[in-house]
Amino acid sequence: MNQFIKPMSERIFTPYVLLWPFTPFAIWLLFFQSVDNQAWFLRINTYTSNYPDILWTGLSLFGNGWALFALTLPLLLVAPKNFYACLISGLCAALISMWLKSWADTPRPAGIIDHQLFHLIDQPLLSNGMPSGHTMTAFTIAFAILYTIPKIQRSRWYWLILPAIAAGLSRIAVGAHWVEDVLIGSAVGMCCGLVGPLLINLVPSKYLALSAWPAKVVLLASVFCLYMLIFETLDFLMNRPIQNILVLIVLTTWMIIARQLMQIKKSS
């Protein structure tokens, strides 16, 4: 149960951690200020169009906030510290993403390029491109989990970065974002992902218990998440089968939580 939980005394930040967000930012700064961003978008978008649309729409869910909430909800049972780190980082990313999109106000590919010249899945998005919110969210959650795991065990969990990379690539594949949107989104997302692991160590352990009030707030939020999964479309219509799986994850988690709370009540 506690294999993911970081000891309070363990350092989270080292100079090497900063290399993660610096890398995509440096790639954008060094290369995408001098090359044709449209050309790179068209190359990648054309290449990814050789694969089924459902692959890219499904991978985009790794950057959807409600999908990730459902996916990480079971952590409330087995690794609450990791879950709350994700929640803190996710809220931070949501606020920063809204501000950056409003501040940058950059057009998306569909707002500039003729829709017949690239592979576009579903309805075109025209504005508020920079940064890619899905990419940002995906990297935020990946890094929040990764850096709440003790350093000695962390190497086994670096694969969590792969779904985040896939989510970023999918945003180019579906025609929603430029390459630079994805690069900046990943860099900012990594930074946001480090906020949760830092702040969660300041929270007393009693507030991480399943019977504490934060868990009740989370369960209330999960009701709205369930509503979104059942009645709304997350990004693309073809994601409906995946949404149904996420519904089962939420319902199963509820059942386990209810059983554990009953056991706690009986033992008290």
18: left (phi over 0), alpha (psi -120 to 50) or beta: alpha
Structure tokens at 143: 């890094």
81 vs 8, higher pLDDT: 81
Render pLDDT for 209-235 as a digit per residue (tens, 0 to 9): 999 999 999 999 999 999 999 999 999
Q: Nearest Cα to 243, choosing from 60, 61, 65, 53?
A: 61
What's the average model confidence in pLDDT over 65-93? 97
Give yes or no for residue 128 having a pLDDT over 70: yes
| pLDDT at 12 (0 to 100) | 60
Q: How are the residues of the chain apportioned to helix, strand and coil, as percentages rounded to the nearest 5?
A: 75, 0, 25
| pLDDT at 35 (0 to 100) | 67
What's the average model confidence in pLDDT over 1-25? 68
Q: Are 129 and 106 in contact (CB under 8 A)?
A: yes
d(CA 6, CA 212): 20
Q: Are 192 and 140 in contact (CB under 8 A)?
A: yes
Q: Are 176 and 56 in contact (CB under 8 A)?
A: no
Give yes or no for residue 9 having a pLDDT over 90: no
| pLDDT at 264 (0 to 100) | 81
Q: In this structure, what DSSP letter does residue 237 have? A: G
| pLDDT at 268 (0 to 100) | 67
Angle between helices 80-104 and 65-72 (to 10 degrees): 170
What's the average model confidence in pLDDT over 171-191? 96
Counting residues of the chain whose pLDDT is more than 90, the rounded percentage is 78
Helix/strand/coil for 112? coil
| pLDDT at 200 (0 to 100) | 95
What's the average model confidence in pLDDT over 121-139? 92
d(CA 145, CA 193): 8
Q: What does residue 85 show for φ and ψ, rounded to 5 degrees?
A: -65, -40
Averaged confidence pLDDT in the chain: 92
What's the average model confidence in pLDDT over 28-38? 76
pTM of the model: 0.92
| pLDDT at 33 (0 to 100) | 66
What's the average model confidence in pLDDT over 122-144? 93
Structure tokens at 112: 């500039």
Angle between helices 213-231 and 240-267 (to 10 degrees): 150
Counting residues of the chain whose pLDDT is more than 70, the rounded percentage is 93
Structure tokens at 59: 């991978």
Give yes or no for residue 7 having a pLDDT over 70: no
What's the average model confidence in pLDDT over 49-63? 97
Quickly list H helices, 74-212. Answer: 75-78, 80-104, 133-146, 151-154, 161-173, 179-200
What's the average model confidence in pLDDT over 131-138? 97
Give yes or no for residue 48 having a pLDDT over 80: yes
Give yes or no for residue 31 having a pLDDT over 80: no
Q: In this structure, what DSSP letter does residue 235 have? A: S
| pLDDT at 86 (0 to 100) | 98
Structure tokens at 8: 């309070």
Give yes or no for residue 206 having a pLDDT over 50: yes
